[in-house]
């Protein structure tokens, strides 16, 4: 492993990080490759993922023996950052759906969306409904739910995904 060189201000900088001296070109290459992998990702999302991955690289810089390993790790970290952002956006969509179905204080009539959601939930099987209510209304994690009921995590996660798909289909049909 190369010995780190001493940077200004007492910061230790591994020599292979100097490979990134042509950063605009490297970033442009990464951007193209990430957009090929994640076609639906916007340029801003890709840039945010690259920025987050670079920040992580500098935190873990001393763990990599050479530039090629660091570059490979950087690409993988950027892809993982994109995945995490996509997961967050899905969670926000679900939270937005929950907010859209909430009735404001003092309102006596249920909103149309809330009524449709209730009808869609009633159309689900008891097991599907129970999983979705525990997960999204009560905030119980999949791991916790699996542990409570003695189920396998992977099985429960797949069941939740299928339940959500069913709910979305029913909700669209009701609209």
Q: What is the mean pLDDT of each run of 10 residues along the chain (175 residues)?
A: 45 56 76 76 81 81 76 84 78 62 52 81 87 85 86 89 88 79
Question: Residue 19 gets which letter from DSSP?
Answer: G
pLDDT of residue 104: 54
15/66 Cα distance (integer angstroms): 9
pLDDT of residue 72: 82
Backbone angles phi, psi at 132, to 5 degrees: -65, -40
Q: Which element (helix H / strand E) includes 13? A: strand 12-13
Question: Residue 2 gets which letter from DSSP?
Answer: P
């Amino acid at each position: 492993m190369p010995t780190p060189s001493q940077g200004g201000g007492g910061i230790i900088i591994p020599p292979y990080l100097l490979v990134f001296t042509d950063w605009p070109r490297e970033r442009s290459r990464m951007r193209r490759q990430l957009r090929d992998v994640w076609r639906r990702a916007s340029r801003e999302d890709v840039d945010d993922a690259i920025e987050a991955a670079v920040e992580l690289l500098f935190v873990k810089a001393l763990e990599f023996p050479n530039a090629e390993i660091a570059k490979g790790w950087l690409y993988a970290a950027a892809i993982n950052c994109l995945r995490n952002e996509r997961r967050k956006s899905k969670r926000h969509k679900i939270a937005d759906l929950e907010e859209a179905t909430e009735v404001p204080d003092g309102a006596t009539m249920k909103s149309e969306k809330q009524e449709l959601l209730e009808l869609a939930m009633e159309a689900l099987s008891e097991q599907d409904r129970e999983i979705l209510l525990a997960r999204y209304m009560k905030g119980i994690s999949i791991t916790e739910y699996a542990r409570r009921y003695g189920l396998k995590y992977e099985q429960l996660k797949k069941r939740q995904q299928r339940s959500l798909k069913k709910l979305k289909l029913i909700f669209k049909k009701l609209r």
